[in-house]
Amino acid sequence: MSVLVGKQAPVFNTKAVVNGSEIVEDFSLKQYEGEKYVVFFFYPADFTFVCPTELIAFQEKAAEFEARNTVLVGASTDSAFSHWKWLQTPHNQGGIQGVKYPIVADHSLEISKAYDVLAGEEVYDEDGNVKFEGAPEAYRGLFLIDKSGIVRHQIVNDMPLGRSVEEILRVIDALQFTEEYGEVCPANWKKGDKALKATQEGIASYLSEK
């Protein structure tokens, strides 16, 4: 599994569904550089079980991400039409109607490969032919990308394990705090807590007050 933290986020240009209903042909994260933080997350597949709980949970907190100058972008290896259909399906039928942030169609698998979250892989058989082994789906990878296009945080969960939206908001708060004040955030830090200076004196002072 690649570690992308500290590196430029892989660039792509592909189909996506935006605003819950519009299919666009040339969606790219580059449009946000210099302006927005991006939470770019993968999920295994449309019309599944854990996935709608996550996508709806992100939408329910959309205003909190927006308040942090952060955009949400989802992605799976399904087609844009599959995304569109799922977005039109009510919650009581397993759909995600009401989700407004962009959902990227990685039907070619190339984006999942670039972010190294693809569950399966291409291998050569004994005759030298390429075949795909495993599921052509993405693990639950999530990447926090700063305004310069640099990955600052990543997590990758196995498919049965849903993510905590609150934890992602906490990490955004921590990143933005360190950028603004130059201090570092200790274990379990949350907005409003005391941070510390990255010096021996700073850690000594912090620990002595706990």
Within 10 angstroms of residue 88's Cβ, the number of other Cβ atoms is 12
What's the pLDDT at 124? Answer: 86
Reported as a single tens digit per residue, the pLDDT across 75-103 is 999 999 999 999 999 999 999 999 999 99
Cβ contacts of 129 within 8 Å, gap of 6 or more = none
Instruction: Give CA 75 to chain center in angstroms.
Output: 8
What's the pLDDT at 127? Answer: 84
Of 93, 111, 114, the closest CA to residue 102 belongs to 111
Indicate if the pLDDT at residue 135 is higher than 90: no
The class that CATH gives domain 14-161 is alpha beta
- Percent of the chain having pLDDT more than 90? 86
Indicate if the pLDDT at residue 128 is higher than 90: no
pLDDT band at 130 (very low <50, low <70, confident <90, very high): confident
pLDDT band at 191 (very low <50, low <70, confident <90, very high): very high
Residue 51 is a catalytic residue: yes
Indicate if the pLDDT at residue 183 is higher than 80: yes
Helix (H, G, I), strand (E, B) or coil at 205: helix
- In DSSP notation, 72-131 reads EEEEESS-HHHHHHHHTS-GGGT--TT--S-EEE-TTSHHHHHTT-BSSEEEE-TTS-EE
Reported as a single tens digit per residue, the pLDDT across 194-208 is 999 999 988 888 888
Q: Which residues of the chain does CATH 3.30.1020.10 include? A: 164-210
Structure token digits, residue 66: 């927006």
What's the pLDDT at 1? Answer: 64
4, 16, 29, 51: the active-site residue: 51
The class that CATH gives domain 164-210 is alpha beta
Q: Which residues of the chain does CATH 3.40.30.10 include? A: 14-161
Of 172, 164, 166, the closest CA to residue 145 belongs to 172
